[in-house]
């Protein structure tokens, strides 16, 4: 089962749900699991009974990097941080960030040469990383940006490796109390080049971010996201944020805030290029709405069809293809009793393609998301998660995606340079293994 999971987790999930139903309980060694593909059960775990669940054991590995940041923190720490950070993600702040999105997107688009063949997956990653790092930390010197980019790549490669899974298997027969944490410790001791590179990268990022926090603190500015975080954090217990906590939040946002949006955009392009009539409609809308080369914040609201295209892309290809939780006490999911410390896997990919909730679920139909489109169960469409731990960057991601898509379309005609549908690379996020090869042509005046 583990080998099958590593090879093609989605095939495994699909076959489990079709054989055993939409709520499946099983044991793997000493680990207990429940897999969910049912909207009501998902609502219960992520929203109604969310206080009985914490992030699952699999997030422990991320703590090496994310520390106690928003993605992985729990309880009172999470509550306080979520409250403090909410202001930095408000519509007003996202609006302030939008010109940065335009500027950074332009800088990359200006490097593209007409008639060039490029991999959009790589370009989208670069674009979203530049946007989030400039928006968060301000424009850095080229060298700092390169160090940051390389270090984040090494960190992601480490997170995406499956070494810890094999280590868990290796130690499974031994009477060790917390096998998951033990496997993480063991992994750290492995004399591997990639492990060393990973810890060296964390060290570099820490130094860079902590130096920036010090620099910005002394300047009392309000130019970027980090300045806002510094401003929100006060001196009393309710609002105090240590430098370490701030470093953790910066890393959380840098990592959570670029990969997912980049993958969502790459999948959107895959679908646009496979569906020329839909691409044509998006082009028409973009050329009609944008008065200049780039959209203003107000114009984004008028990109109704383009937004529906993006929403449909993240239905078929949710960047976080599953999220997981663990119950702290014995709970009930629908009619089933779930013993404490069971890992609950919420399968976003399969529920967003389920025949139970969608008409022609495999078809790419942006109309579903237009006014009077298809009705759907709320918890059968959760690309940004749900409940109290719903993505804090959801609005930012939508604004960013529409800004990037419309600017690309206004400037270039993009042509498909791939033959076959891509295969899935399912690690932390859902990615097209072969990237997204395209030819770039300048839009004729």
Question: Which residues of the chain form contacts with ligand HEM (CB under 6 A)?
Answer: 70-71, 82, 132, 252-253, 256-257, 260-261, 264, 314, 319-320, 323, 383-385, 389, 391-393, 396-397
- Say how far apart CA 161 and CA 155 lie, in whole Å: 10
We find the least distance from the C-beta atom of residue 415 to ligand HEM, in angstroms, to be 25
Question: Is 206 within 8 Å of 155 (Cβ atoms)?
Answer: no
Residue 142 burial (C-beta neighbours within 10 Å; 0-12, 13-18, 19+):
exposed
Nearer to ligand HEM, 252 or 431 (CB): 252
Question: Which H helix or E strand runs over 123?
Answer: helix 120-137
We find the least distance from the C-beta atom of residue 99 to ligand HEM, in angstroms, to be 16
We find the least distance from the C-beta atom of residue 382 to ligand HEM, in angstroms, to be 7
Nearer to ligand HEM, 167 or 400 (CB): 400
Report in angstroms the alpha-carbon separations of 219 from 88, 125, 271: 19, 31, 46
Residue in 13, 64, 74 with CA at minimum distance from that of residue 345: 13
**How does DSSP classify residue 367?**
G
Q: 45-75 burial string, b = 16+ CB within 10 Å, else e?
A: bbeeebebbbbbbbbbbbbbbbbbbbbbbee
Nearer to ligand HEM, 305 or 320 (CB): 320
Nearer to ligand HEM, 396 or 440 (CB): 396
Q: How many helices (H) and strands (E) does the chain have?
A: 19, 12
Nearer to ligand HEM, 364 or 384 (CB): 384
Estimate to the nearest angstrom the gap between the alpha carbon of 309 and the chain centroid.
18
Residue 231 burial (C-beta neighbours within 10 Å; 0-12, 13-18, 19+):
middle
Nearer to ligand HEM, 257 or 435 (CB): 257
* DSSP β-bridge partners for residue 347: 322
Residues in the chain: 445
We find the least distance from the C-beta atom of residue 327 to ligand HEM, in angstroms, to be 15
Task: Show contacts of 146-149: CB within 8 Å, 24+ apart.
Answer: 147/204, 147/208, 148/205, 148/208, 148/254
Nearer to ligand HEM, 251 or 440 (CB): 251
We find the least distance from the C-beta atom of residue 379 to ligand HEM, in angstroms, to be 13
We find the least distance from the C-beta atom of residue 127 to ligand HEM, in angstroms, to be 12
Nearer to ligand HEM, 78 or 440 (CB): 78
We find the least distance from the C-beta atom of residue 354 to ligand HEM, in angstroms, to be 17
We find the least distance from the C-beta atom of residue 285 to ligand HEM, in angstroms, to be 20
Nearer to ligand HEM, 62 or 357 (CB): 62
We find the least distance from the C-beta atom of residue 252 to ligand HEM, in angstroms, to be 5
We find the least distance from the C-beta atom of residue 366 to ligand HEM, in angstroms, to be 16
Nearer to ligand HEM, 167 or 381 (CB): 381
User: Which residue's Cβ lies closest to ligand HEM?
Assistant: 393
Residue in 253, 249, 255 with CA at minimum distance from that of residue 69: 249
- Say how far apart CA 381 and CA 316 lie, in whole Å: 10
We find the least distance from the C-beta atom of residue 341 to ligand HEM, in angstroms, to be 17
How is 12-26 classified by DSSP, letter by letter? HHHHHHHHH-SEEEE
Nearer to ligand HEM, 167 or 397 (CB): 397
Estimate to the nearest angstrom the gap between the alpha carbon of 380 and the chain centroid.
18
The dihedral built from the CA positions of residue 70, 76, 81 and 82, taken in this order, carries a sign that is positive
């Amino acid at each position: 089962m583990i080998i099958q999971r590593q090879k093609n987790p989605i095939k495994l999930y699909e076959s489990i749900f079709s054989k055993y139903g939409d709520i499946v309980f099983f044991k793997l060694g000493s680990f207990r699991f429940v897999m969910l593909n049912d909207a009501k059960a998902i609502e219960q775990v992520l929203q109604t009974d969310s206080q009985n669940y914490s992030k699952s054991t699999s997030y422990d590995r991320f703590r090496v990097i994310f520390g106690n940041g928003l993605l992985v923190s729990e309880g009172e720490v999470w509550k306080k941080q979520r409250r403090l950070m909410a202001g930095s993600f408000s519509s007003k702040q996202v609006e302030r960030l939008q010109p940065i999105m335009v500027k950074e997107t332009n800088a990359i688009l200006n490097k593209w040469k007409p008639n060039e063949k490029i991999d959009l997956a790589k370009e989208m990653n670069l674009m979203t990383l530049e946007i989030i790092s400039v928006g968060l930390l301000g424009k850095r010197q080229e060298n700092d940006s390169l160090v940051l980019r390389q270090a984040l790549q090494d960190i992601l490669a480490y997170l995406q490796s499956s070494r810890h899974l094999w280590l868990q298997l290796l130690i499974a027969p031994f009477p060790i109390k917390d096998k998951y944490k033990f496997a993480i410790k063991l992994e750290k001791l492995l004399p591997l080049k990639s492990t060393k590179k990973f810890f060296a990268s964390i060290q570099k990022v820490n130094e860079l971010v902590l130096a920036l926090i010090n620099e910005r603190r002394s300047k009392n500015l309000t130019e970027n996201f980090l300045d806002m975080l510094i401003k929100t954090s006060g001196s009393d217990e309710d609002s105090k944020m240590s430098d370490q906590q701030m470093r953790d939040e910066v890393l959380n946002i840098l990592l959570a805030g670029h990969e997912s949006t980049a993958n969502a955009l790459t999948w959107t392009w895959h679908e646009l290029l496979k569906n020329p009539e839909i691409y044509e409609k998006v082009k028409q809308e973009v050329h009609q709405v944008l008065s200049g080369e780039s959209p203003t914040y107000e114009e984004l609201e008028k990109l109704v069809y383009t937004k529906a295209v993006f929403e449909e892309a993240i239905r078929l290809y949710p960047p976080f293809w599953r999220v997981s939780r663990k119950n702290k006490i014995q709970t009930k999911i629908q009619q089933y009793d779930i013993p404490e410390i069971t890992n609950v896997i919420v399968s976003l990919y399969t529920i967003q393609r389920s025949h139970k909730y969608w008409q022609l679920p495999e078809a790419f139909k942006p109309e579903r998301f237009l006014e009077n489109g298809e009705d759907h169960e709320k918890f059968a469409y959760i690309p940004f998660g749900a409940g109290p731990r719903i993505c804090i960057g959801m609005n930012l991601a939508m604004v960013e995606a529409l800004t990037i898509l419309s600017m690309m379309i206004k400037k270039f005609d993009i042509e498909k340079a791939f033959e076959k549908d891509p295969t899935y690379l399912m690690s932390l996020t859902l990615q097209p293994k072969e990237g997204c090869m395209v030819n770039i042509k300048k839009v004729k005046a």
